[in-house]
Structure 1
Amino acid sequence: MIELQDIRKSFGDKEILKGVSAVMESGKVNLIIGSSGSGKTVMMKCIVGLMGVDSGKILYDNQDFTAMDEKEKKVIRQQIGMLFQGSALFDSMTVEQNVMFPLEMFGTGTLKEKKNRVAECLERVQLKDAAKKFPAEISGGMKKRVGIARAIVLNPKYLFCDEPNSGLDPQTSLLIDKLITELTKEYNITTVINTHDMNTVMESGDHIVYMYQGLKQWEGSNKDIVFSKDQRLNDFIFASEFLREAKEIRQLEMFKDGNWRNQLNKGEGKQP
């Protein structure tokens, strides 16, 4: 798991993160959500070490990442997979070569073993037949799946995804969500996703941190959200009439399942 303990981050006199504490759990899809300027992107960059925090601690399985030297941080980073918003594939490399890249940088074993690992990952994301193609020859959804294959090729303990559904059609977005969820459960990965996609929130959000103006406003699961009484969260998640109606339908479904009492009690989420 990854634990944040009272992390703070400022740029000049502007405080972006104002003492955020949260736990990102292993084997679960952990989401960071919030409107633009809420601090969620800075928070993710701090967690992966792209930015240093001003104060507070970030613990990877009880190891203080913020207190490590560069050599120690490199060991942790080798256990991290990253799916970038724009896929960030190398245009001059084939799909196979893109997935191979982390293995060439950090992997061990023979070339044959590395190629076998690449083939396994491409088969897992259903892209085995696209191995010899270049990024320009495949669709946006396929590029995302290549990015996922590259992110998992080193068998990471931690997977970070920055807006994984950005620019994708709704059907493809659902496929990407499903794939990330399956991989998270299958390999017991601590997955952290920065997203604006409400389908991802409602379908994949095992654990959700809602950020508001640099603070953790609410914390809970996608089931807790349905009964949330936090007005800021409700205004953000259920902004349209259509989504408010969808919320009511989901509540009715949960009433029928007899699961509503527990969720109603949990609907307040964990307050900061």
Structure 2
Amino acid sequence: MIELVNIKKGFGDKEILKDVTVTMEAGKMNLIIGSSGSGKTVMMKCMVGLIELDSGSILYSGKDFTAMDNNQRKEIRKEIGMLFQGSALFDSMTVEQNVMFPLDMFSNDRTRDKKKRVQEVLDRVNLKEAGKKYPAEISGGMKKRVGIARSIVLNPKYLFCDEPNSGLDPQTSLVIDKLIKELTVEYNITTVMNTHDMNTVMESGDHIVYMFEGKKQWEGNNEEIIFSKDKRLNDFIFASEFLQDAKEMRQLDAFKDKNWRSNLKDRPGAREEKA
């Protein structure tokens, strides 16, 4: 897992992250949500070391990443996969070459073994026949799947996804969400995702952190979010009448469970909201 302990970050006089403490759990989809300027992108960049903290600690499986030197951080980064918002594929390389790039950078395996691993991950993301094609020859959804294949080719413990559904149609977005969720569970990966996609939040949010003006405003999962009484969260998530109606339908579905009273009482957020 990844632990953020009292992290703070500012630029000049502007404080971006304000004493945030949160744990990203292994084998789960850990989503960071919030409006523009809430601090979620800076938080992710701090987690991978692209931005240095002003104070606080980031721990990878108990190891203090913030206290490490460059060589020690390199070892952690070998265990990190990254799925970029725009896929970030090399146009001059084929799909196979793009996926092999991390292996060429960080692995001493024989070329034959590298090619075998590339075929394994391409097959896993249903792109077995696309290996010889170039990025310009495939669709946006396929590019995302190439990006996913590249991000898992080194068998990472940690996977960071920056708006993976950006620019995709709703149906393709669902496919990408499902694939990332399956891989997260299958390989017990600690997946951390920045997203504005409410389908992702409601369908894949095992653990959700809502950021507001640099602070952790709310934390829970996609079931608890339906019953949250946090006004800022509700105004952000259920902004339209359609989404408000969808929330009410989800609540009604939950109430059909004969044990809904005890389930509601036992929610982690229930005691906090009552307080």
Q: TM-score per shorter chain, which class?
A: over 0.9
* 1:1-20 map, 5 Å: 1-20=1-20
Partner Cα separation in structure 1 for residue 188 and residue 126 of structure 2: 20
Shift of 1:231: 0.5
Label 1:57 to 1:270 Cα distance change in 2 as closer, same or farther (>3 A): farther
Shift of 1:258: 3.5
Per the alignment, residue 200 of structure 1 pairs with: 200
Q: For residue 129 of structure 1, give the secondary structure of its aligned residue in structure 2.
A: coil
Shift of 1:263: 3.5
Which letter maps to 1:7? I
Per the alignment, residue 24 of structure 2 pairs with: 24
CA contact (8 A) 1:32 1:193 kept: yes
Residues matched between the structures, number: 271
Shift of 1:259: 5.2
* 1:125-144 map, 5 Å: 125-144=125-144
Label 1:259 to 1:215 Cα distance change in 2 as closer, same or farther (>3 A): farther
Shift of 1:108: 2.4
Per the alignment, residue 87 of structure 1 pairs with: 87
Per the alignment, residue 187 of structure 1 pairs with: 187
Unpaired runs of 5+ residues, structure 1, are: none
Partner Cα separation in structure 2 for residue 252 and residue 102 of structure 1: 47
* 1:217-228 map, 5 Å: 217-228=217-228
Alpha-carbon RMSD across the aligned residues, in angstroms, is 1.2
Partner Cα separation in structure 2 for residue 14 and residue 258 of structure 1: 50
* 1:74-113 map, 5 Å: 74-113=74-113
Partner Cα separation in structure 1 for residue 231 and residue 175 of structure 2: 31
CA contact (8 A) 2:264 2:270 kept: no
Label 1:169 to 1:67 Cα distance change in 2 as closer, same or farther (>3 A): same
TM-score normalized with structure 1 length: 0.97
Q: Deviations over 1:204-231 (max 9, x none)?
A: 0000000000000000000000000100
Per the alignment, residue 168 of structure 2 pairs with: 168
1:177 aligns with 2:180: no
Partner Cα separation in structure 2 for residue 268 and residue 163 of structure 1: 30
* 1:47-66 map, 5 Å: 47-66=47-66
Which letter maps to 1:198? M
Shift of 1:254: 1.1
Which letter maps to 1:13? D
Per the alignment, residue 159 of structure 1 pairs with: 159
CA contact (8 A) 1:219 1:270 kept: no
Unpaired runs of 5+ residues, structure 2, are: none
CA contact (8 A) 1:17 1:215 kept: yes
Partner Cα separation in structure 1 for residue 271 and residue 170 of structure 2: 28
Shift of 1:265: 4.9
Which letter maps to 1:161? C
Per the alignment, residue 229 of structure 2 pairs with: 229
Runs of 4+ in structure 1 displaced over 3 angstroms?
Answer: 267-271
Q: Deviations over 1:165-199 (max 9, x none)?
A: 00000000000000000000000000000000000
Shift of 1:251: 0.7
